[in-house]
Amino acid sequence: MKTTLLSISLITSAILFSFSKPKKPILDLEGMKKAMKSGYAYVPSGFTLVDKDSVSCQGFFMMKEEVSNFSYREYLFDLKQNDRIEEYKQALPDTTKWNTSSFALSKYVQYYFSHPAYRQYPVVNVSKLQAEKYCEWLTRVWRKNTGNESIVFRLPTRAEFLRAANGSSIDRPYSWDSPYIRREDGKFQCNFLSIGASAISRDSTGKLVVKNFPMDYLAPGSDCADLTAPVRSFRPNEYGIYNLNGNVSEMISDGNLAVGGDWYSPGFDIRNQSTKKFTEANPTVGFRPVMTFVELKSEN
Share of the chain above pLDDT 90, in %: 66
Q: How many CB atoms lie within 10 A of CB 222?
A: 15
- Residues of the chain predicted below pLDDT 50: 1-15, 17-19, 215-223
57: domain CATH number is: 3.90.1580.10
Task: State the Cα angle at 171 between 168 and 173, rounded to 5°.
Answer: 110
Whole-number pLDDT of residue 294? 87
* Alpha carbon 241 to its chain's center: 10
* Type and span of the H or E element at 30: helix 29-36
Whole-number pLDDT of residue 258? 98
Distance from C-alpha of 243 to C-alpha of 137, rounded to nearest angstrom: 24
pLDDT digit string (tens) for 208-248? 666 555 534 444 444 456 799 999 999 999 999 999 999 99
Please report, to the nearest 10 degrees, the dihedral formed by the alpha carbons of residues 110, 113, 117, 119 taken in order.
-170
Q: Which residues pair with 41 in a beta bridge?
A: 62
Whole-number pLDDT of residue 101? 73
Per the structure, the count of domains in the chain is 1
Length of the chain: 300
Q: What is the DSSP string of 255-287?
A: SSEEES--TTS-GGGGSTT-EEE--S--TTEE-
Q: Residue 215: inside a domain, yes or no?
A: yes
Give the domain extent around 60: 2-293
Distance from C-alpha of 179 to C-alpha of 161, rounded to nearest angstrom: 18
Whole-number pLDDT of residue 14? 40
Give yes or no for a contact between 265 and 193, defined as CB atoms under 8 angstroms apart. yes
Q: Residue 298: inside a domain, yes or no?
A: no
* Type and span of the H or E element at 46: strand 46-50
Give residue 296's region: left, alpha or beta (phi > 0; psi -120 to 50): beta
Whole-number pLDDT of residue 201? 65
Q: Residue 57: inside a domain, yes or no?
A: yes
Whole-number pLDDT of residue 197? 54
pLDDT digit string (tens) for 160-180? 999 999 999 999 999 998 999
How much is the mean pLDDT over the chain?
86
Q: Residue 299: inside a domain, yes or no?
A: no
Alpha-carbon separation of residue 125 from 21, 25, 204, 231, 296 (angstroms): 33, 36, 26, 16, 34
Distance from C-alpha of 16 to C-alpha of 38, rounded to nearest angstrom: 11
Q: At what angle do helices 2-16 and 69-81 cross, to 10 degrees?
A: 120
Whole-number pLDDT of residue 36? 87
Q: Residue 300: inside a domain, yes or no?
A: no
Whole-number pLDDT of residue 19? 46
Q: Residue 239: inside a domain, yes or no?
A: yes
Q: Residue 193: inside a domain, yes or no?
A: yes
Please report, to the nearest 10 degrees, the dihedral formed by the alpha carbons of residues 120, 125, 126, 128 taken in order.
120
Q: Residue 155: inside a domain, yes or no?
A: yes
